[in-house]
Amino acid sequence: MKYNNIDFNNKNILITGAAGFIGSSLCFYFQNNYPKANIIALDSFRNSETFSNGNLKSFGHFKNLLGFKGQVISGNINDKELIKDLEENFNFDYIFHQAAISDTTVQEQDLMIQTNVNAYEDLLKIAIKHKANMIYASSAATYGDSNRFEVGYEQPNNAYGFSKVMMDNITYKYLKQGVDISIVGLKYFNVYGPREFFKNKTASMVVQFAHQILKGLTPKLFEGSDKILRDFIYIEDIIQANIKACSPKKSGIYNVGTGYARSFEDIVNILQKELEIDNGKEYIPNPYIGSYQFFTQANIETSKENLGYEAKYSMEEGIKAYIPEIKRLFKEEVK
């Protein structure tokens, strides 16, 4: 499905984080809808390196790009030589910047800022030089403990959320200077859907609960999960927002959610219904109190007004659409 009237055929499109969840989904959106688009897929890809928390430094996985026909570049956005090469040897029309350290439990603040903040500004300078519209991933983590999920009410409670606020601040700085490209930051809420599996423990609880259920296990929920409410959004709506952000009425930062908060309890109930398996539920203490968002719900009024964005998938519809891929992953990757 095409989400706007732009013809991306013969356009040069850079997608960073292209072997990740959202980046790879964008790669295939363009490949499937605009076969003559020139897609440059940049990712650092995974190796055995981990952060101090034990999680991988990169979640990029070649399996997310199986069937991709565009150009693939393995590189780290912190590499100044790579940035210079992108600036001098390409001429981009659009940059979709999805690459980031997105693990909210990472303690290496220095690398978090370098990767998420400083490298973004380097890429933004390329976008301005090439006259390429910039669309980048911000995050609902910027809101932290805020009770208003609107731009301007950010209150991050971890280094990741802070880094995304700093990215947004860079955007405002350049917009004030009157750049002649559009810059759109998209604050993703809790995204789930195909191609997230290789995020391992940071993949959504939708796929994690589903595989617990398929293993015959009782899904483990934090105590009080019926009161832990999040705005869960299906990957197709994230793609829709990115594509609509290519031609915004107004540059800026926008929420991308459904506008409805749902509980983790709801996820398990829907999954057990769709999988036709009821293993009950087990409740465990929440070890993340203090750095954990207990409520998120996107205010998407400005997203509707300036991007023409509105979520098309309810949680029931998103999970139902996801079930065939969940079953395939379980059969081919989990067992």
What is the Rg, in whole angstroms, of the alpha carbon atoms belonging to the chain?
19
Residue 1: predicted pLDDT: 84
Q: Which residue from 284, 276, 281, 283 is spatially nearest to 218, judged by alpha carbons?
A: 281
Neighbour tally for 10: CB within 10 Å: 10
The sign one gets for the Cα dihedral 205, 207, 208, 214 is positive
User: Does 199 qualify as catalytic in the annotation?
Assistant: yes
Res. 292 pLDDT band, cuts 50 70 90: low
Tell me the pLDDT tens digit for each residue of 127-170: 999 999 999 999 999 998 888 999 999 999 899 999 999 999 99
Please give the Cα distance from 208 to 184 (Å, whole number): 31
Q: What is the mean pLDDT of the chain?
A: 95
C-alpha 227, offset from chain centre: 24
Residue 29: predicted pLDDT: 98
Query: Among 160, 192, 309, 322, which one carries the catalytic annotation?
Result: 160
Both structure tokens of 49: 């390196």
* Over residues 291-310, mean pLDDT: 91
Please give the Cα distance from 6 to 295 (Å, whole number): 36
User: Does 160 qualify as catalytic in the annotation?
Assistant: yes
Residue 306: predicted pLDDT: 98
Contacts of 65 by beta carbon, 8 Å cutoff, 6+ apart: 18, 19, 24, 27, 41, 72
For residue 258, is pLDDT > 80?
yes
Both structure tokens of 144: 């932290």
Res. 291 pLDDT band, cuts 50 70 90: low
Tell me the pLDDT tens digit for each residue of 307-319: 999 999 999 999 9
What percent of the chain stands above pLDDT 90?
86
Choose the most confident range, by mean pLDDT, from 38-42, 158-162, 197-201.
Answer: 38-42
What is the H or E stretch that residue 138 is in?
strand 133-139
Write the secondary structure of 106-136 as one string of H (helix), E (strand) and C (coil).
Answer: CCCHHHHHHHHHHHHHHHHHHHHHHCCEEEE
Residue with tokens 């891929």: 325
* Over residues 163-186, mean pLDDT: 97
Residue with tokens 């690459």: 99
C-alpha 181, offset from chain centre: 23
Residue 39: predicted pLDDT: 98
Please give the Cα distance from 204 to 132 (Å, whole number): 32
* Over residues 198-218, mean pLDDT: 95
Contact 150, 139 (CB under 8 A): no
Residue 55: predicted pLDDT: 82
Contact 290, 228 (CB under 8 A): no
Tell me the pLDDT tens digit for each residue of 104-125: 888 899 999 999 999 999 999 9
Tell me the pLDDT tens digit for each residue of 58-102: 899 999 999 999 999 999 999 999 999 999 999 999 999 999 988
Query: Among 11, 164, 187, 199, which one carries the catalytic annotation?
Result: 199
From residue 146, alpha-carbon distances to 51, 152, 214, 288 in Å are 28, 10, 36, 17
The sign one gets for the Cα dihedral 241, 244, 245, 246 is positive
Q: Which residue from 252, 21, 251, 297 is spatially nearest to 140, judged by alpha carbons?
A: 297
Contact 309, 300 (CB under 8 A): yes
**Domains (range + CATH), the chain:** 12-334 (3.40.50.720)
* Over residues 238-243, mean pLDDT: 98
For residue 103, is pLDDT > 90?
no
Both structure tokens of 187: 């604050």
For residue 51, is pLDDT > 90?
no
Residue 294: predicted pLDDT: 81
Neighbour tally for 224: CB within 10 Å: 14
pTM of the prediction?
A: 0.95
DSSP 78: T
